[in-house]
Amino acid sequence: MNSLAALLVPLMMLTAPASLSPERGGMPGPDRAGFAPAPEADEPDAGDAQGIAPVWRELSGSFRPQSQNQVRIEQRVIIRIAPRRPSVAPDILSDLPQGEVAPQYEERKMGKCVPIKGIAGVQANSDNRLLLFLRDRRIVAINLEKSCRARDFYSGFYVEPNEDGLLCVGRDKLHSRSGANCDLDRMRQLVLVRR
């Protein structure tokens, strides 16, 4: 019991009205009009230490330490890169032989990072290679680690952005919708060769 509560108990007993008198056998005494009030069902017994008054319960409860709960809010952002949409709708005449030769691309070295917000789409290319189509009209080829297959990324991939907002070789992992997690092995820019 707190020391303050030990000092307040005798004070509460002195100020509380004497509701039980010994000459009446424990029954409540008459009021000024001479009528005895009806006994209440929840009235405590004289030997009950907690039955002094509901005020005492409130007072003693205010000295107890309050329970506090802790709330922790975390935020996680995952970016989805979807497959590239076809830019031209299929035409009826597309099955006819065309006179043009398919464009030829050459690989060139580039930095190890690409801005994630700059990626417009992705396409699975060969065994472990993805093509990223950037918003500034560049095409970047990404080689995945040897144990990964590009066909697992047919419906795009998910990546957790870093503070710098870049997708980098040797640091970031790509997560496919099928559950594959792959590291980036190499990044090269594909440039159209003019002939």
pLDDT given for residue 164 in this prediction: 93
pLDDT given for residue 11 in this prediction: 74
Percent of the chain past pLDDT 90, that is, above it, reads: 26
Q: Look at the block and give the residue holding tokens 């029954």.
A: 27
pLDDT given for residue 100 in this prediction: 66
Q: Look at the block and give the residue holding tokens 């409860």.
A: 61
Domain parsing of the chain, residue ranges: 3-62, 79-84+103-192
Q: Look at the block and give the residue holding tokens 């290679």.
A: 129
pLDDT band at 41 (very low <50, low <70, confident <90, very high): very low
Q: Look at the block and give the residue holding tokens 């019991």.
A: 1
Cα separation, 153 vs 175, whole angstroms: 8
Question: Which of residues 101 and 110 earns the better pLDDT score?
Answer: 110
pLDDT band at 2 (very low <50, low <70, confident <90, very high): low
pLDDT digits (tens, 9 = 90+) for 66-109: 777 888 878 777 888 888 665 555 555 556 566 666 778 899 99
Residues 6+ apart with CB under 8 A from 115: 165, 166, 167
Axis-axis angle for helices 54-62, 3-15 (nearest 10)? 160
pLDDT band at 114 (very low <50, low <70, confident <90, very high): very high
pLDDT given for residue 116 in this prediction: 92
Q: What is the mean pLDDT of the chain?
A: 76
